[in-house]
Amino acid sequence: MPRIAIYDPAGCCSTGVCDPATSDAMAQFASAIDGLTKQGVEVERYELSSNPGAYVENAVVKNALDTDGVDCPPLVIVDGEIVSKGSYLSRDELSAKTGVEIPEGEAPSCCGPAEDTKEEADASSCCG
């Protein structure tokens, strides 16, 4: 099984879907990651503002930041190699990059659906 590390831009929680303005791409990516973890694939996520040390301790990530700047996250790394910079992969793209078929599923909910208000998102246990 592949090992996956995701280096997310600054946000509020590890799923990447807590922002009330969450994009569909982020929600679909989170759903795909959930599908991988349910199959036993090891997935680690790092969020810039809560774990900045992870960004400088990993030579591959540090080099990407040095080369491409702070706008390169999200970074998706499979078995130590960057397979995506600056955008969240679709389910099909992530499946192709990992070699694992990802079943369809619902997007995990962190702070509620996109129509939630900022106050509700701030009150959530994962964001507040």
In a domain, 84, yes or no: yes
In a domain, 35, yes or no: yes
CA distance 2 to 88: 18
In a domain, 103, yes or no: yes
pLDDT, tens digit, for every residue of 39-79?
999 999 999 888 889 998 999 999 999 999 888 899 999 99
Domain of 23?
3-122
Strand duo 75-78 + 42-47: pairing: unpaired
Cα–Cα distances (Å) from 29 to 59, 124, 128, in that order, read: 25, 21, 23
In a domain, 17, yes or no: yes
In a domain, 79, yes or no: yes
CA distance 34 to 2: 15
| pTM beyond 0.85 | no
Please give the tally of structural domains in the chain: 1
In a domain, 25, yes or no: yes
In a domain, 127, yes or no: no
What mean pLDDT comes out for the span 33-38?
A: 93
A 10 A CB-CB count for 94 gives 23
In a domain, 94, yes or no: yes
pLDDT, tens digit, for every residue of 3-22?
999 999 876 555 555 555 45
Q: Which two tokens stand for residue 107?
A: 């997007």
Give the CATH number for residue 117.
Answer: 3.40.30.10
